[in-house]
Amino acid sequence: MELFDFPGEKDLLRPSNINFHQADSLSMFAVSFGSPSRKAAIFNLVEDFGTLSINEPKIIHPEILKNGYGRVYTALLTTNNGEMILIFSKENNILKTGIFSVNDGSEISSDLLVLEDKENLYAPDIWVYDITYNDEEGVLLPFQNDEVLMLSYLDNKLSLRQSEYSGKSLFSIPDTSSSEVINNTILKRIESGLYKILDEELSTESSIDQVAIDSLISNISKVDSIFVGDSIKIPATVDSAGGFYSFQWLVKPPMGTIYKPHTGKINWIPTDNQTGENIFAYLSQIRLGEKLLSVSTPFGKQHQIIPILSDSLFAFKLFVKDTLAPITKYVPDEFIIPEDRTATITLVTRDSSISRYHFDGEHYFKLYVGYDLFKDYSQSVLTTSIRSNLSLVDKSVSSKLSFIRENIPDSSLTTISMDHDLINNTLNITTSNTYDSIPQSYSPEDWNPDWYLYPNYVFNGFSQTLSMDSINNNLKFKINEDLKSHPYTNISVTVPLGENFYTSAFSFPNEIYVKTIDVVITVDSLSRKSVTATYEFYGKVSANSLAGIFDLKDRVRFNKQFLESKKLLKSTSL
């Protein structure tokens, strides 16, 4: 392993993706760097007698990407004009794109391409692809919901269009996928033509046909019960002469079970300790034939004979009976305790004008109300929370909490909405007290690489003076720093993130008077969830700051610690 430095770029390089291109005997790499660098590096990596070295490095800083907040990506490709590098960044519905010559780094073209509400570009699956099978390459961009776009440079023009690979599940393989899932995905890519240089030919002879497989499946163990001491031979797969390739147990079989590959049968004699249900589950691979795999390399064609396999998953139960009459025992019902993945929407206030509540919520929601009293008999703190365990929610549900007062504090209203998408880990925050119509996006991971678990934030309607900072190793957004925060006055949304809970909490300069709190938990067709909380206030309301903290449970303690950390508490009376 070698460590290489790029002159003038120390401590500013945050790689977003790496792209590789093989040309003759050279291995060319392109690496994109996010904010604040927002550029790309291209270089050849050469190995000489065990020593790695970088040849002909270049730094390309696109003018179109110098200002922005989206992640930066890159890809090497071949066009009719020679070797090129694409550098692009997604910002809302726009893809800022520039294309440059690899030889001298000069800009060929740049443009703002329309994305039409595409979400979450999967960087590891960015795929350089031959469009015309004539050394004219484009780049496949996989997005959420299995949408795949083609980014290309044809006829001296950058273009972005829908590709034929959308909806085919060819990209975005989860890290937890089994080898079978990965192999099936690669096979689908081959069948879809993504590997241009792949040339397959089936051999004319097959070891076994599909009729034999269908016959095997229909004849596997029609016996569902046997007695203790009986010998049984279960036809599990074909024998070695008929195309057997592999056999693998998926669960531990009963003691004494033997699989014999030469006969393709499972042999077993149950004992008196094995009465009741016994589970058999295994994976069998059958060789259908062979195929010739030919791949182009820098040194010519490489050929290999590989088997054509069919995977079959089998599982069945066999009940072992004793010679004595079975004794029927009462088995009580077993209950499970659902995992605690509770979302909590909270209001902390000293508002004494509230006379009663009106809570209209489905049974998935619970309402909690608590008071904190002070030794000096000053105004108590009211904490109101709406909670829902997301482990129990299997459909979209909603609730509404209304605060009833004898007198209405103000005729005008302000809303602040926090929408946390738990799958994409994106937090959209919107205020009706609008200062600016331009959305503002922030990626805490770009600020601090250790904050990769924090959500990406999008602010709508907030002042352009909004800025991201850290305090006591926690995330903080500054909104109105010139104003002092009012003690024990905040709103917050807490959601489960992985094994932790994450809280986003607003503080305010004055006491707040909340009219309603609306909570919506959205569940889509794939059981993906988002939590949206909308607070409606009386009057023109602006927040001081927004804090983001993991594993926050005590709202009052949080408010006090947060104020102390901002050095706004001047005495110990609070």
SS3 per-residue string spanning 214-260: HHHHHHCCCCCEEECCCCEEEECCCCHHHCEEEEEECCCCCCCCEEE
Does 330 reside within a domain?
Answer: no
Tell me if 470 sits within 8 A of 447, measured CB to CB: yes
Locus of tokens 């110990």? 572
CB neighbour burial string for 540-551, b if at least 16 within 10 angstroms, e if fewer = ebbbbbbbbbbe
Query: Which pLDDT does position 456 carry in this prediction?
Result: 92
Taking the model in full, what pTM does it have?
Answer: 0.44
Query: Which pLDDT does position 133 carry in this prediction?
Result: 54
Distance between CA atoms of residues 127 and 133, nearest Å: 15
Regarding whether 292 and 149 lie in a shared domain, the answer is no
Regarding whether 165 and 207 lie in a shared domain, the answer is no
Distance between CA atoms of residues 365 and 572, nearest Å: 37
Does 146 reside within a domain?
Answer: yes
Query: Which pLDDT does position 203 carry in this prediction?
Result: 41
Regarding whether 273 and 354 lie in a shared domain, the answer is no
Regarding whether 399 and 431 lie in a shared domain, the answer is yes
Give the residue among 287, 292, 288 at the shortest CA–CA distance from 202: 292
Query: Which pLDDT does position 572 carry in this prediction?
Result: 32
Regarding whether 545 and 411 lie in a shared domain, the answer is yes
Distances (CA, A) of 559 to 166, 200, 347: 47, 66, 11
Distance between CA atoms of residues 313 and 284, nearest Å: 6
Locus of tokens 């499970």? 336
Query: Which pLDDT does position 324 carry in this prediction?
Result: 61
Regarding whether 448 and 313 lie in a shared domain, the answer is no
Does 9 reside within a domain?
Answer: no
Distances (CA, A) of 113 to 110, 160, 528, 543: 9, 7, 29, 35
Does 45 reside within a domain?
Answer: yes
Regarding whether 498 and 354 lie in a shared domain, the answer is yes
Does 360 reside within a domain?
Answer: yes
Regarding whether 183 and 55 lie in a shared domain, the answer is yes
Query: Which pLDDT does position 563 carry in this prediction?
Result: 44
**Structural domain range at position 290:** 202-321
Does 4 reside within a domain?
Answer: no
Query: Number of structural domains, the chain?
Result: 3
CATH number, domain of 231, equals 2.60.40.10
Regarding whether 437 and 288 lie in a shared domain, the answer is no
Regarding whether 427 and 300 lie in a shared domain, the answer is no
Domain boundary among 164, 193, 222: 193
Domain boundary among 144, 167, 193: 193
Does 135 reside within a domain?
Answer: yes
Regarding whether 352 and 265 lie in a shared domain, the answer is no
The whole-number mean pLDDT for each consecutive block of 10 residues of the chain, a chain of 574 residues, reads 52 67 71 83 76 81 84 86 87 88 88 84 82 72 88 87 87 79 81 58 45 58 78 73 73 88 84 86 76 65 74 79 64 78 93 91 90 83 93 93 92 94 93 86 86 91 87 82 82 90 92 95 89 96 89 48 40 33
Regarding whether 182 and 73 lie in a shared domain, the answer is yes
Domain boundary among 321, 354, 379: 321
Does 332 reside within a domain?
Answer: no
